[in-house]
Structure 1
Amino acid sequence: MPQFAIFKRPRRAARSSRPLPCATLGLLTLLSAGLADAQDEPKSSAATEAADTQSMESLGRVVVTATRGTKAVEKIPGAVSIIAREEVDRQTLISEDPSQLLAVTVPGYSPSRQKLSSFGESLRGRSALLLLDGIPQTNPLRAGGRDGYFADAMIVERVEVISGASAVQGMGATGGIINTITRRPKQVGTRHGVELKFGTQLHGDTASWKAGYTLAHKSEGVDGFDALAYLGTRQQGVGVDGDGRPLAAESLHKAADVFVKLGKDFGDQRVQLMFNRYEADGFDDRADLSGDRKSGRPTSSRPAVLKWDSPRTHVRSVSLDWSHADLAGGQASLQLFKQDFKASFTGSIFSIFQDPAIAPAGTLVDRSELVADKWGLRSSWVRPDLGLKGLELSLGVDVLNDISSQRLTMTERVWMPPLQYRSVAPFTQLEYEWGPLTLRGGLRDERSRLAVSTYRTLAAYGSREVMGGERQAQKLVKSLGGVWRFGKSGWSSFASYNEGFGPTDVGVVLRAVRTPGQSVDKLVDLQAVVTDNRELGLAWRGRTASFSTSVYRSHSDLGTQTIVSNGLGVVQRVPITVNGFEFTGEWQASRDLRLNAIYSQTRGRTAAGPNLPMDLDLGARAQGPDKLVLAGQWQFAPALSAQLTAQHFRPRHANVGKLAGSVRLDEHFSGYTLLDLSTRWLSPWGSLSVGVENLLDRQYLTYYSEANYAGTNDDYYAGRGRNLSMSWRREF
C-alpha cells in the first residue's frame, strides 16, 4: 500500500497518507498495512531490517512532484502518497490495469472501469493530472478518457500522488497530480531482467500472457554513465464475468512498450535522455451484445467481423533533462519534453455521426480519432538557507504548447477543429523551517492563450459555421500551508490552501455549437476552471502502528458538468463543491504480519444550471462511491510471502427524482466487495508468483457502468470474474 506524507513511518512501514476525520473512529483500530516485501534473495533478519530502514528513509526524503525539488514527505503541508516499486509489483500480480492500482492504494481515487476508457475515474471528485517523469499525459482540452494507459508497469520505480487541487505542475490538476517516476539502474555493472507471465480464467477466450526484457547498466565513479532499456509486450483475451458470460469488447487486448533512459553525470551536473513509446489496442474481432438494465443482464460480446479497425492508443514521450546540484548555492533543473498522443475509438452507426448529405440516415458508419501533440519546458532553481537558516526559495518557469484535434476518420470530417493552446507560467515559493514548524507559500502566474480557426460543426449540431477566434486567460494561482510536528510524541498536523487551474473540455464545447453566427472569442464556456482546496490533517506514529487522517473542501465557482441527452454531450458552467474525509492506517501486528487500511468518503454538490441552487449530487462521471480497502501481508517463511486485499465500495443513490431540463439524473449503484490474493516465492531460479483477482468469483457491475444516469444497454458492463495469473521473473 502507498506511503502518505505527514510524518516519517516506523521501520518496515511501506505507506502513509493524509486524508480526513469524520465518522469511523473504529477504523483507527483496524490500522492497516503490509509485511515487509521480500528482497531479490533471502537475507538474514539484520540485513532485511537494514534494507527496510534504508528504503523507508529514502522514500521519506524524496518527493519530486510535491515541491519541484527534493523534500521530505513529513514536511509537506498536504496529502501526498507514494506507491513504492514493491507495491506496484504486488498489484500487477493481480492486474496490469494502472487504474486498479490507484483504486486500491489511493484513498480518494474512484473504482476502475477495467476498460480502455477511463471515463468515470476521478480523484476527489475532480480530474487528476497524469504525468510520466513530469511529462503531461492527460489531454484536458479534449478529455477523451484514453490517457490512463501510457507506460508498462515494469518501467515504473514509484508513483507519487498529490491529492487536492494544485498548480505546481501546471494546468489540469483540479483533483490532484499523479506522477509516474520511471526506473534508473541502482547497481554498478550490467544486469539483465526477464519477466514471463500467464493468466487464465480457465474457460472461454480468457488466456493472457506477457513477456518483457530489461537491460540495466551503471558505471562506477562520480562521472558515471547509466542506461536502462525495456522491451515488453502483452496480450489478453476478452475475459468473462462471475457468471461465466463474456465481457464487453471495450477493453485492452494487446499492448507493447519500448523504453530507454540514458544518463551521464559530470560532477555536480547530470544530463538524462528518456524515450517511451506505448501502444494499447482493443479488439478488432468481437462485437458487443446489448445487455438489459431492467433485468440486470450486463453487456456481453461475441466473435464478429468488423468494418473498422480496433480501438487504439499510441503514446510517445521524450524528455531531455539537465540538473545541477550546486548552481549559485542552489539546485537547478531544466527539462525539455515532447509528447505525441493518438487515440482512435470504436466505429458504429452512431446517431451523432449521421449526415443525409453523405448517406441515408441510420446507415453511415464512422469512427473518431483524437490527436494531441505537446511540447514544453519545465525549469526550477531551489536555494536553501537564503540569508537565514531554514529559509528556502524556489523559482522557475514552465512553458506548454498543445495542439489537439478530433476528426472522423472514415469520412474525413472535422469533429473538433485544431485547438492551439500556449501557456507560460513563472512561479516562486518560499519555505521556512523553524524547529518543528514548516511554513510554505507560493505564487504561480498562469498566462494562457487558445486559438481556433473557423470551422463547421457536424450535421447533428446543425452544420453551423463557427468563426475562429482567440481566448486568453490569466490567473495568479496561490498556495499556502504549514506543518507542525509535536516534538517526540509522534503527533503532527497540517493545514493548507491550494488552488488549481485548468481549461474546460474545450472540444465538447466547440463541437456542440448550435447558435448561428457564433464565434470562438465570444464563447463564455471557454473560461478556465479555477479550483481551491482547503485541507486539515492529523497524523500519529507509534512504535508498531500509525495513522493519518484529513478533511478537505474543494470549490470552484465556475466548474464544468457534462449533461448527456440523446447521445449528445453539452458542457454546463456551474459551481461545484466537494467535501471529503480520508483515513489511512497501519499496524505491525507481529514481526511477520502487517495490516493496512484506507477509507475515503466524497460528497460533491453542484447545480442543474447557471444561477440555480446547488441541490444536485455530483454524478458518477466525476465522483466515486465511499471506499474501504483492507490489506494484510504475511511473510510466513524467509522466501515466501502473501498478501490478501479486500476492496469494499459502498452503494450510492444520487439525484433520485431530479432533472436537468428534461433529462433525468437518477443514479443507482448497488456496491460490491472483492478479495484479491497474491503470493511470492523467491526461489533459486527466480521470483515465482501467483495472483488471483476476484478470489471469490463475485458477479458485479462496475461503478460507472451501473451508476451513470446516461447509461444504455450497450455500456452496462460487468466486472471481471476470478482470474489466475502466474509469473516468473529473474535478474542476472
Structure 2
Amino acid sequence: MNINKSYIAVLVSSFLSVSTFNAVAEDIERVEIFAERMSSDLESISRQVTVIDNEVLTTEFASAQNLAEVLAKVVPGMAPPTPALTNFGTTIRGRNALVLIDGVPLNTNRNISRDLHNIHPSQVARVEVFRGGNAIYGSGATGGVIYIHTKSGEGENKLVSSISTQISLTERTSDSMTSQIYQEVSGSYQQWSYLLAGSFEKTAGAYDADGDRIAPEPSQGDSIDSDIFSINGKIKYQWQDQSLEFSALSYQLEQDTDYASDPSAKELPYLSKAQSIKGLELDKQNEISNQVFDLSYKNRINDDHRLTAQLYYRDYESRFSPFDGRPYGTWNHLAQTYLESTNLGLRLTVNSSLSEQLDLDWGLDSSEEKSEMPVTTYDGDIYDESNGLVFQELGDKAFVPELTHSSRAAFAQARYQLNDAISLEAGLRYEEIEASFDDFTTLGQAVDIQGSDYDYDSFVSNFAATYQVNDDHTVYLAANEGYELPDIGLRIRYANEQFDLSQSKLKPVETQDYEFGWRGNFEQVAMSLALFHSSSDLGNVKSENMGLSLSRNKVEIKGIEVTLDLDINDYLALDLSYSYAEGKEKAEGADEYIKMNGFAIPPNKLSAALVYDNLQGWTSQLRLLAVSGEDYRIDGNNAFGRRDVESYRVVDWSNQVELPKGTLTVGIENLFNKQYYSVYSQLQRNGNNTSSIPGRGRLLSVNYQLTW
C-alpha cells in the first residue's frame, strides 16, 4: 500500500504552528448506537462505525454547507467532498451507501445520487455511519449505511431561535452573503411530546480564493442562489411500555440564478477554471422536493421482546441542469431531466432476548416505489445564438417511463455470547423484487419499446466473531454480503428494438465483504484499525459513450482505515483518521483487470481535528483535510473519471462561545484561502472544463442561537 507519509508531516507542522487550538477527543468505545436494527455499543459491534452527535455537527457545520460535506470530511473511508448538489462519487469503501432518515430509506431505483442533499442541516440531531457491506436494511448498502436521526421533541419544554450568516472574505459583497433563520418549539405534557421546527435559508453566490465568482456546476447542479425551506414536525403519545409517533418532514430547494458556466471554457486546455457568465434565462432550475411522512409504533412487550413497526410514505421530486445532448444519438435533444418518485413502505423489527446468551433481531420489509424521469426539451438554435444562456421551452418528453418497483423481504440477525470474551453474530436476508414498466418511446432514437416486467430475488448472509481481549482491546473478523438492485432506468432509457427487461442482465449487485478490525485504548489514546476486501461478480450498470455501451464489470476492492483519538492534556486533543483504498475491475469478455476510475475509488484521505476547550465555555477547532494525488488514466489517456488528480489540503477553523444568553458559533472555511480543485472537479463529471469548479475561498460563518 502506497501510504503517503508526507501527510503526517503536513498535519504535525500545520497544527504545531497553531498550538493554541485543539479538540476534546471522544472515547468512541463508550458511544451507544441508536439505529433500531444495529443497537449496541461501539465496544462490541463487529464493524467500524462513525457516530456524529449534535455537538460535533454544530462545530462542523460552521465550516460546511451541507451534511454531505460534513460526512465526507469526518467519516473514514468516505470520498472527499464535492462542490455539486450530488453524492455521485462520494462512495464509502468504493461502493454506494444506503441513506435513511429515522429509518425511512431515501434511495430510489433510478439512482440520481442526491440522497445526502434531501434534508437541511438544522433538522439533523445525530448521524451514525456503518461502514462496509450491510443487508439488514435492504438494497443499496454495499458500501455501508448512513442513518440520520432528526431532532426530537422529548425533554423539557423549550423554544430555540437561531440566526446565521455567511459571507465570502475574498469578495465581500451582498452577492456573497447567505442568511438563515431557524425556529424550534418542543416539549412534553403528560403522556404527549411534540416538536415543530422550521428554517429558511437564502444562499448567495460563491467565490474562490482568487475572488472570482464560482461558476454553476453544469452536470449535477448546485445550490448557489437558492431558497431552501425545511419543516420538521413530530407528535408522540406514550402509555405504559408503548408509544405511537407521527412525523412529517418537508425539504424544498429552489434555485433561481442569473449565472451559467461559460461554454468557451470547453476549448481551453485541461485543467482550466470554469468561468461564471451572467445572463441565464431559465425558468426551471435545480430543484429538490422531499416530503416524508412516518407513523411509528413501539411496544416493549416484556423484558425480553420489543416490537417496532413503521409505516412511511415518501413523495420526491428532483430537477437537474439542462444538458446539451444533441451530439449524442441516445439523446438528440437539448434537454433537462427531472425525477418524480413515490414510495409506500412498511418496516417491522422485533428485538428478542431468547436467553442470557442469545439475542435475535428479525423482521419484515415491504415497499412499492413508482418513479418516472421525463425531460423538458429546449430550442437548440436559440440556445446556440445566446452562447448557452437562453432556454426556450419546447415541451416535455419521456426519458425513463414510469417504473413500478415492488419488494418484499424477511431478515433475521442472531447474536450469541459464547463466553465473557467471545461473541458470535450471524444473519440472513431474503428479498423478492418485481419490476415493470409500460410502453414508451426512447428519447434519442425514437424507438418504440414494449412494456415488460421482471421478477428477481436476492439471498444474502453475514457472519462475525468478536473477541474482547481485555477491557481495553477488542478484535473482530466479519464476512458480510450486501446487495444493490441495478438501476433499471439507466438500462431502458437507451433500449433498442430487441430490448426485453427479463433478458437485460439486471441481476442485483451482490458483494462479498471480509473485514478484520481492532479497537484499543492506551491511557490517553484510543485507536482503531480496519482491513477490508470487497468483491462482486457483477458491478453496477455502467453507462459509457453516453449510453451507447452498457456493462457490468467484475470488481475487487481492498483498503485500510485507521483512526486515532489523543487526549494531549485537559484542554487539548487530536482526532485523526486515514483512509486508503484500491480497486480493480474486469469488463465482460476481458482477460485482465484494470484500475477503477476516480469516481469509484477516491485517493488517499487524511482528516484531522485539533480542538481546544478551555472548560469555561469556549471551544475552538482546526480541521485539516488532505487528499493525495492519483493518476486514474489508462495508458495516459483521459476518459470519464480517468484523469491525473493532483493533491490538495484545506484547513477550516470553528469556534463556539457560551454567552450569558445563548451560544455564538464562528467558523472560517478554507482558513488559508487555498485555491484548489476537488477530486470531483478534477475528474470533470461532464467531460470538460465547464465542470472544473474550484473550491470556495476563505468564507466566514456566524451563528447565534438562543434557547428560551
- Give the alignment's TM-score, normalised by structure 1: 0.87
Aligned to 1:449, the other structure's residue is in SS state strand
- Runs of 4 or more, structure 1, over 4 Å off, are 20-34, 352-356, 567-570
Residue number among 357, 367, 372 corresponding to 1:405 in the alignment:
372
Counterpart AA for 1:450: A
Counterpart CA distance in 2 for 1:723 and 1:29 is 22
Aligned to 2:568, the other structure's residue is in SS state strand
Q: Is the 8 A contact 1:97 1:114 kept in 2?
A: no
Q: Is the 8 A contact 1:631 1:644 kept in 2?
A: yes
Aligned to 1:366, the other structure's residue is in SS state strand
1:464 is aligned to: 447
Instruction: Give identity over the alignment, percent.
Output: 22
Q: Is the 8 A contact 1:657 1:666 kept in 2?
A: no
Residue number among 80, 88, 111 corresponding to 2:57 in the alignment:
88
Greater CA drift, 502-511 or 196-205: 196-205
Counterpart AA for 2:669: E
Instruction: Return closer, same or farther for 1:239/1:709 CA change in 2, 3 Å cut-off.
Output: closer
Stretches of structure 2 that go unaligned for 5 or more consecutive residues are: 16-20, 378-394
1:477 aligns with 2:453: no
Matches within 5 A, 1:113-124: 113-124=82-93
Counterpart CA distance in 1 for 2:115 and 2:480 is 25
Q: Is the 8 A contact 1:249 1:283 kept in 2?
A: no
Matches within 5 A, 1:141-540: 141-188=109-156, 190-202=157-169, 203=171, 204=173, 205-220=175-190, 224-250=191-217, 251-252=222-223, 253-290=226-263, 291=265, 294=269, 296-327=271-302, 329-351=304-326, 365-384=334-353, 386=354, 388-410=355-377, 411-433=395-417, 434-458=419-443, 460=444, 462-488=445-471, 490-514=472-496, 516-524=497-505, 526-540=506-520
Q: Is the 8 A contact 1:666 1:709 kept in 2?
A: no
How many Å apart are 1:113 and its aligned residue?
Answer: 1.3
Instruction: Return closer, same or farther for 1:354/1:282 CA change in 2, 3 Å cut-off.
Output: farther
Counterpart CA distance in 1 for 2:702 and 2:482 is 42
Counterpart AA for 1:595: L
Count of residues in correspondence between the two structures: 672
Aligned to 1:112, the other structure's residue is in SS state coil
How many Å apart are 1:284 and its aligned residue?
Answer: 3.3
Q: Is the 8 A contact 1:122 1:175 kept in 2?
A: yes
Q: Is the 8 A contact 2:597 2:642 kept in 1?
A: no
Q: Is the 8 A contact 2:530 2:560 kept in 1?
A: yes
Counterpart CA distance in 2 for 1:438 and 1:324 is 27
Counterpart AA for 2:79: S
Greater CA drift, 575-584 or 449-458: 449-458
Matches within 5 A, 1:45-60: 60=31
Counterpart CA distance in 2 for 1:644 and 1:305 is 38
Instruction: Return closer, same or farther for 1:629/1:683 CA change in 2, 3 Å cut-off.
Output: same
1:604 aligns with 2:583: yes
- Give the alignment's TM-score, normalised by structure 2: 0.90
1:17 is aligned to: none
Instruction: Return closer, same or farther for 1:610/1:395 CA change in 2, 3 Å cut-off.
Output: same
How many Å apart are 1:347 and its aligned residue?
Answer: 2.5
Instruction: Return closer, same or farther for 1:24/1:259 CA change in 2, 3 Å cut-off.
Output: same
Aligned to 2:57, the other structure's residue is in SS state helix
Matches within 5 A, 1:711-722: 711-722=687-698
Counterpart CA distance in 1 for 2:367 and 2:327 is 32
Give the RMSD, CA atoms, in angstroms: 2.7
How many Å apart are 1:659 and its aligned residue?
Answer: 7.2
Q: Is the 8 A contact 2:519 2:529 kept in 1?
A: yes
Residue number among 61, 76, 84 corresponding to 2:45 in the alignment:
76
Q: What's the CA shift string for 1:3-36, capped at 9, x where partnerless?
A: xxxxxxxxxxxxxxxxx99897997999999634
1:547 is aligned to: 527
How many Å apart are 1:493 and its aligned residue?
Answer: 0.4
Stretches of structure 1 that go unaligned for 5 or more consecutive residues are: 1-19, 38-51
How many Å apart are 1:541 and its aligned residue?
Answer: 1.1
Counterpart CA distance in 1 for 2:9 and 2:640 is 40
Counterpart CA distance in 1 for 2:686 and 2:258 is 27
Q: What's the CA shift string for 1:585-634, capped at 9, x where partnerless?
A: 11100001111100000101112x20313422111222211100111110
Aligned to 1:351, the other structure's residue is in SS state coil
Q: Is the 8 A contact 1:468 1:521 kept in 2?
A: no
Counterpart CA distance in 1 for 2:3 and 2:62 is 34
Q: Is the 8 A contact 1:109 1:123 kept in 2?
A: yes
Greater CA drift, 685-694 or 179-188: 179-188
How many Å apart are 1:538 and its aligned residue?
Answer: 1.1
Q: Is the 8 A contact 1:193 1:729 kept in 2?
A: yes
Aligned to 1:590, the other structure's residue is in SS state coil
Counterpart AA for 2:426: G
Counterpart CA distance in 2 for 1:271 and 1:680 is 37
How many Å apart are 1:350 and its aligned residue?
Answer: 3.1
Q: What's the CA shift string for 1:191-247, capped at 9, x where partnerless?
A: 100111011114253111110001111235xxx211111110111212111111211
1:644 aligns with 2:622: yes
Q: Is the 8 A contact 1:680 1:690 kept in 2?
A: yes
Aligned to 2:690, the other structure's residue is in SS state coil
Residue number among 531, 536, 539 corresponding to 1:559 in the alignment:
539
